[in-house]
Amino acid sequence: MAKRILTGLKPTGEQFHIGNYFGAIKPLIQLSQDNPDADIFLFLATMHAYTQIHNGEELKKNTLTVLKLYAACGADLERFMIYNPADIPGHAQLNWVLTCLTIMGTMERMHSYKDALAKGKAGEISVGTFCYPILMAADILLYDADIVPVGKDQKQHVEYARDIAQKFNKAYGEIFKLPDVYIRNEVAVVPGIDGRKMSKSYNNYIWLLDDEKILLKKVKQIPTDTKTVEEPKDPDTCNVYNMCKLFLNEEENQSLRSRYQAGGLSYKEAKDYLYEKLLAFLKPIQEKYASIKDQEIVDLLKKNSEKVNAISEKKIAEVYKKVGFSL
């Protein structure tokens, strides 16, 4: 049977920024190309996003935008099996079984809970947030995933999925496949326009859908030092260079570095170059994005959910028999 690569994407933001592109989207597309024979399951973790977003319209809008952006960035919608777990009852069904097999101490040690604790009081954290990894384990185990690519912060959650699968199998027989976590190669952190890590939370991002005017404004805001045009400059400490190099081939990169080091390059010129490179990168993504209709995405999710639901129903039937829910 073909290897199954499965991952989820939490639509908590209204868009993706170029940090998300280089850190998450591009590596997944690359992984799919490196494994041409594997099945790729990519789902919208709408039920996970619900731990954070309680505005229905906002969640719907994020979900559509994020999916269209994935397609605009080159994810092949024919190849990627994209679906929404909320359309498939098995996720909530398996979630309950695993919830009853999981002790609270395990959840207390989880990254998601600790993260929430760091931001607020224990008594105010939702039970959904507390149990977040259990739903994630259900997402994974339902489909016999072989490989689960995630960012470093999600590694512990996939390990828990493996542990709970083992616990279930030990009690009831070999029902679940044990998933392997695949941590994306450390991608260099993409800097934001203030030089810190680009992040939704720092308001220092360039969205994939930023138009020319906004883009120009943001590029102009990038802080630089006070060196004169003639002075030699260190490219590695320059925010403009650090962003620009994402879009350069080896030759262009060497040539820009030499110009920095030789002196004679103004920051204005470097920023104009960055703007030009950003535009050339974003234009095709934005054009593709504009060509995808919301209805196409809705139809695709519906079509795929039928296929995926058939796999899920089969697994749930086995589980329900084993635990004694089905006679």
Q: Catalog residues that contact ligand ADP under the rule CB under 6 A.
A: 13, 19-20, 22-24, 151, 187, 189-190, 197-201
Q: Computed from CA positions of residues 63, 66, 72, 76, in that sequence, does the dihedral angle turn out positive or negative?
A: negative
CB of 85 to ligand TRP, least distance (A): 8
Task: Give the one entry of ligand TRP, ligand ADP, none that residue 282 binds, where binding means its C-beta sits below a cut-off of 5 to 8 angstroms depending on kind.
Answer: none
By the 8 A CB rule, do 208 and 69 touch? Answer: yes
CB nearer ligand TRP, residue 48 or residue 277: 48
How far apart CA 270 and CA 227 sit, in angstroms, is 13
151 or 232: CB nearest ligand ADP: 151
Question: How far apart (Å, rounded) are the C-alpha atoms in residues 202 and 98?
Answer: 36
Measured from the CB atom, is 22 or 281 closer to ligand ADP? 22
List 31, 42, 59, 150, residue binding ligand TRP (CB under 6 A): 150
Residue nearest to ligand ADP (CB): 23
DSSP symbols for 178-242: PPEEEEPP-PPPPB-TTSSB--GGGT---BTT--HHHHHHHHHH-------SSS---GGG-HHHH
Q: Are 150 and 7 in contact (CB under 8 A)?
A: yes
Q: C-beta of 18: minimal distance to ligand ADP in Å?
A: 8
The dihedral formed by the CA atoms of 235, 196, 189 and 23, expressed in degrees to the nearest 10: -130
Is 235 a residue that touches ligand TRP (CB under 6 A)? no
- The type of residue at 171 is A
The C-alpha R_g of the chain, in whole angstroms, comes to 23
The upper half-sphere exposure of residue 142, i.e. CA atoms within 13 Å in the direction of its Cβ, equals: 29
Applying CB under 6 A, among 4, 17, 48, 68 the residue interacting with ligand TRP is: 48
In the bound state, the residue with its beta carbon closest to ligand TRP is: 8
Pick one of ligand TRP, ligand ADP, none as the site partner of residue 199 (Cβ within 5 to 8 A by kind). Answer: ligand ADP
Binding of ligand TRP by 107 (CB under 6 A): no
Question: Which CB sits closer to ligand TRP, 110 or 297?
Answer: 110
Which chain residues interact with ligand TRP by CB under 6 A?
Answer: 7-8, 10, 45, 48, 136, 139-140, 148, 150, 154
